Amino acid sequence: MVVSHDAHHERRARTRRLARLVAVLLLTAPLLLGAARAPAASRTSAPVTLLIALEPDHPVYAGDTLTVSASLIGPDPSPVTYQFLWDGAIIQPWDEAASCRLELPDAVGDHRLTVQVRAPAGTIQEAVQTVYVYRKPVDPSDYDPSAD
């Protein structure tokens, strides 16, 4: 079965949105169901989930600018710092900013985006997302047949 380029990306975007929604619902279910709030001592050791959001979320093309945002779900471990990496190279070193902008490279294909968050206690948590970078489509108005 052949799936169109746009249909493939729309399906991937829907899957990502659904995964984010499921993560939020799983983490907030006790609050939604009226469960009692845990004492402060146990809240500090509860897990925190790190989510990555991309703008635009699909498709992304070589040379475009990608905005990467991180969000934490769970007990507030403030103040935290974030670090962003693209294929293992630091694109934004440790900072309180939970987002960064990235000029996408010309390298088409899968790339590894990593967001790390460091809590005051020094513990580091990371989330990784694969980002596929497409070759920018040729604008028909830019085509010069004499160049062939």
**90: CATH:** 2.60.40.10
Whether 117 is in a domain gets the answer: yes
Measured between its terminal Cα atoms, the distance across the chain in Å is 34
| Overall average pLDDT of the 45-49 stretch | 64
- pTM here is 0.64
**118: its two tokens:** 């460091």
Does residue 127 lie within any of the structural domains? yes
- Domain membership of residue 9 (yes or no) is yes
**125 inside domain:** yes
Question: Which structural domain, as residue segments, surrounds residue 98?
Answer: 5-35+48-136
Q: Model confidence over 78-107: pLDDT tens digits?
A: 889 999 999 999 999 999 999 999 999 899
Answer for the pair 80, 120: CB distance below 8 angstroms, yes or no.
yes
Look at residue 91 and tell me if it is in a domain: yes
Total count of domains within the chain: 1
Dist. CA 77–CA 43, nearest whole Å: 10
pLDDT digits 0-9 by tens, 112-122: 999 999 998 88
